[in-house]
Amino acid sequence: MSRAGDLCRLARERGLFTPWDGAPSLGAIVVAGPDAGEYLQSQLTSDVLALAPGATQPSARLNRAGALVVDLSVTRLPERGQPFPTYLLIVDREHVTLLADDLRANVVTGDVLIDDLTPDLDGWFVAGPAAAAVLATLAGMPAAAQTWTIDLPLTGDAGFLVLQPRGAATAPGPAVGAAARAQGLVEWPTAADPEAARAWRWLRVEAGRLLPGIDYLPGRRALAQTGLDQQVVSLTKGCYLGQEVVARVRTYGSVPEAVRALVFAAGAEDIPAVDTPGIPVHDADGHVIGTWASAGWSSLWQAPVALAYLDRAHRAPGTPLTVKMADGSLAPAQVRLSPLHAAVGAADRARHLHERAVHRFGLGDDQGAINLLQQALNNDPSLADAAEALGVILGRHGRFHEAIDIFKQLEETAPNEPLIHTNLSLFYMKLGDKAEAERQREQATLKRFANLDDDRTAAEREAAEAVARRADADRKLAMFSEVLDLDPLDGLALMGAANALAALERPLEAEPLYARARVAQPANSAVYLAHGRVLEILGKPVEAAEAYRAGVAVASRKGDLQPLREMEHRLLMITAESPARG
């Protein structure tokens, strides 16, 4: 293993610490003044006004077309006597001037000061499982009163910047360094060391961190293509630059290319021959299927990895690809969601924020609860309890469209939760869409009975509902059968009749109809999901897996996230349940 590979392995196992002007190559912009908060609220994607003193959130600067200019973190500095809130923006050093000039150019009215603070700061970056223990050593020290601690998971692990004005009377540096060494963290070599610089890039690739100016050019990539929208966008704040385009993409469709990770054959540390990020990705036949970003080597996967913007037909997680590298060689790889390594403790932080939000809600502070719930979802977008609570509170305030958007996102991560549909039914009824409200109510009923315990009352209600479902299925089967008598190739009728037979627990008759429906409707991802389910019931896991794989490809092309995730889950379960092969 190379020295860079050893550094990556040690960093993952033990953590790392480095001067703030070392490997991270970060810069800082201070935004202050009576109107600073309102101004940043209108210019960045996150909910800046929700920040409490000392809190940090990921954010981004977009242009009017909704394209990413640069991603960043924004921290509201602790209140230490300043007359108004002050914010610190942390960004890659190479783009400090770009961001500062861009923000200054958009100040039309208001009292706002924007300045590059990079040369005036000193401090350390600490990352890894023991980072919190290192920071605890600062508590009670004289230097702590002058430092700013900023949550920044640059490498995918928990990470913090400890900063203070350069030349301060008391410095945290010696204490941080001593504590980090005592915890066994790796003291990162200087940025001038080529192997250290190489290893740092590899850690960022593994963590899914796109490098501005390398993996994206400012203003040239839609935010949704970068995968950052789930982390940096507030769904509950007002307007900001580029907001209309972000909302349109989220509501009406998917982007032509989106970032994914490629994991190559394990065992070798040979980095994929990606000469320059930004060049096309070619498949084995020479067809362009996307655009390369950075490449590296993953100590966790023990394999070469790369980030790439892939088209709809090739970005489904789990897809095997053979790509033609820049040197002409062919390399087998598998598509994975990025990041390949996520921050330790993010889920715990999300749960804690959710609990605080519930407490705020109980005290009657709805807006405080909304802010905390949004922070929880920034840490863990899959936390169903936080998403449900946020949607309910928004609905209480008549913000039905926003609440619907929250619950639709929640449905992707918790597809079997009936309360999602109960709330959606209520919100659609409030908006006057009675047909959709009724459909959501039916979905809630079906999922509710599927999740009920086996007590006597539940069994009685399930039996009554089953009778009603069978009657409805009998009616639909008769109706669709009449259509098929006239046109045996009608795709909707084939699907409808198959669904009715499945509901009547006649899978042997339903299966060939699903197979014919796939031929008639090859772009309908729901058909593949239903066909796979019936094949599983019939004890045909190999055929079911084939249906799910074909469906995953279709759903990925179309951006049908809910059936995509369910089919991926079923594929995983089939694989897990298959007997081991020698």
> DSSP character for 144?
G
Q: Do 137 and 169 touch, CB atoms closer than 8 A?
A: no
94, 101, 102, 89: which is closest to 37 by C-alpha?
89
- The DSSP code sequence of 95-131 is GHHHHHHHHHHT--SS--EEEE-GGGEEEEEEESTTH
pLDDT band at 327 (very low <50, low <70, confident <90, very high): confident
pLDDT band at 46 (very low <50, low <70, confident <90, very high): very high
Do the domains 346-451 and 456-577 sit in the same CATH topology, yes or no?
A: yes
374, 393, 22: which is closest to 192 by C-alpha?
22
Whether pLDDT at 302 is above 70 = yes
Q: Which amino acid is at 218?
A: P
Give the containing element (helix H, strand E) for 507.
helix 507-520
Whether pLDDT at 516 is above 50 = yes
Task: Give the mean pLDDT of the chain.
Answer: 84
| Low-confidence winner among 210-214, 287-291, 374-378 (lowest mean pLDDT) | 374-378
pLDDT band at 29 (very low <50, low <70, confident <90, very high): very high
CA distance 431 to 449: 27
More confidently predicted of 375 and 281: 281
pLDDT band at 580 (very low <50, low <70, confident <90, very high): very low
CA distance 35 to 439: 46
- Give the distance, in angstroms, between the CA of residue 215 and the centroid of all CA atoms in the same chain: 18
pLDDT of residue 454: 42
pLDDT tens readout for residues 435-493: 888 888 888 888 777 665 444 555 566 677 778 778 888 888 998 998 889 889 998 89
pLDDT of residue 546: 94
Q: Do 129 and 344 touch, CB atoms closer than 8 A?
A: yes
More confidently predicted of 560 and 115: 115
pLDDT of residue 92: 92
In angstroms, the Cα distances linking 342 to 180, 200, 573 are 22, 16, 23
**Average pLDDT of span 398-403:** 85
Supply angle C-alpha 276, 279, 284, rounded to 5.
Answer: 115
pLDDT band at 511 (very low <50, low <70, confident <90, very high): very high
Q: What are the residue ranges spanned by the domains of the chain?
A: 3-186, 203-336, 346-451, 456-577
Q: Do 50 and 66 touch, CB atoms closer than 8 A?
A: no
pLDDT of residue 582: 34
**Average pLDDT of span 281-293:** 93
Q: What is the pTM of this model?
A: 0.63
433, 434, 435, 439: which is closest to 420 by C-alpha?
439
In 10 A of CB 295, how many CB atoms? 22
pLDDT of residue 495: 92
More confidently predicted of 460 and 47: 47
| Low-confidence winner among 12-16, 94-98, 332-336, 356-360 (lowest mean pLDDT) | 356-360
More confidently predicted of 392 and 415: 392
In angstroms, the Cα distances linking 436 to 132, 421, 424 are 48, 10, 9
246, 255, 243, 330: which is closest to 290 by C-alpha?
255
pLDDT band at 378 (very low <50, low <70, confident <90, very high): confident
Instruction: Note if the bond before 339 is cis, omega within 30 degrees.
Output: yes
Identify the CATH homologous superfamily for domain 456-577.
Answer: Tetratricopeptide repeat domain (1.25.40.10)
pLDDT band at 272 (very low <50, low <70, confident <90, very high): low
Catalogue the E-assigned strands of 420-569: none
Give the containing element (helix H, strand E) for 409.
helix 400-413
pLDDT tens readout for residues 115-150: 999 999 988 899 988 888 888 777 666 555 578 889
CA distance 204 to 26: 14
> DSSP character for 334?
E
Look up tokens 């609990």; give the residue: 355
Query: Which CATH number applies to 3-186?
Result: 3.30.1360.120
Whether pLDDT at 190 is above 90 = no
From the candidate CATH numbers 3.30.1360.120, 3.40.190.10, 3.10.450.750, 3.90.1010.20, the one assigned to the domain spanning 203-336: 3.30.1360.120
Whether pLDDT at 282 is above 90 = yes
CATH class of the region 346-451: mainly alpha
Task: Work out the angle between the directed axes of helices 384-396 and 346-362 (0-180°, nearest 10).
Answer: 30
In angstroms, the Cα distances linking 516 to 28, 479, 494, 513, 548 are 60, 18, 7, 5, 16
